Homo-oligomer: A and B are copies of this chain.
Amino acid sequence: MNRFGEMHCSIAQAVSIVGEPWTPLILRDVFLGLRRFDELSQDLGISRNLLAQRLDHLVAAGVLVKEPYQERPVRYEYQLSESGRDIVPALLTLMAWGDRWSTPPGGPPVLLTHSCGARFRPVVSCPHCGGEVTADNFTVEGGPGAAQGPGTMVLGAPGVASGIS
């Protein structure tokens, strides 16, 4: 796609797909039930050609699937694919951060309720111990796919670690 897609960094990979302007909001709307071109166009106020381009990109990336919901005339709707559904929690963590650091007047625009019944604020945790992950309590090191290249100098040297203030 763009140059981010060529970097050996999973953040860059994710950014090459969901880092384009509007894309996270398109995914949010599709998740929330808006599936048709015109609904998205109206809700977001995005220009229609750009919306068409973004949808194409997301379909090509496998994040959305485009399916006809009627014949004559053929009409399409967009839905989240498996990878699209899998990115929803990541969007939630971004939302939680936005809520925390730039809450609009009146309080948070949305509230979340988990299937356990609790209203919750999403946290990132370690699946082994269940503890929350923060900038201070984990380390990073180069993995098997680490490589030198643009955007990855800092990881090129295996063993580089961080965190644990």
Seen from chain A, the residues whose Cβ lies within 8 Å of a Cβ on chain B are 4, 7-15, 17-19, 21, 24-25, 28-29, 31-34, 42-45, 62, 80, 83, 85-116, 118, 120-147, 150-155, 160, 162, 164
Contact = CB atoms under 8 A, between A and B. Distances in A.
Given A101-B62, A115-B164, A123-B127, A32 B140 contact: yes
Given A127-B120, A135-B85, A164-B115, A147 B92 contact: no
B93 A93 contact: yes
Number of copies: 2
A154 B9 CA distance: 34
Contacts of A25: 4, 7, 9, 11-12, 15, 151
Given A111-B143, A124-B92, A98 B133 contact: no
A44 to B, nearest CB: 6
B94 A11 contact: yes
Contacts of A122: 124-126, 133
A155 B110 contact: yes
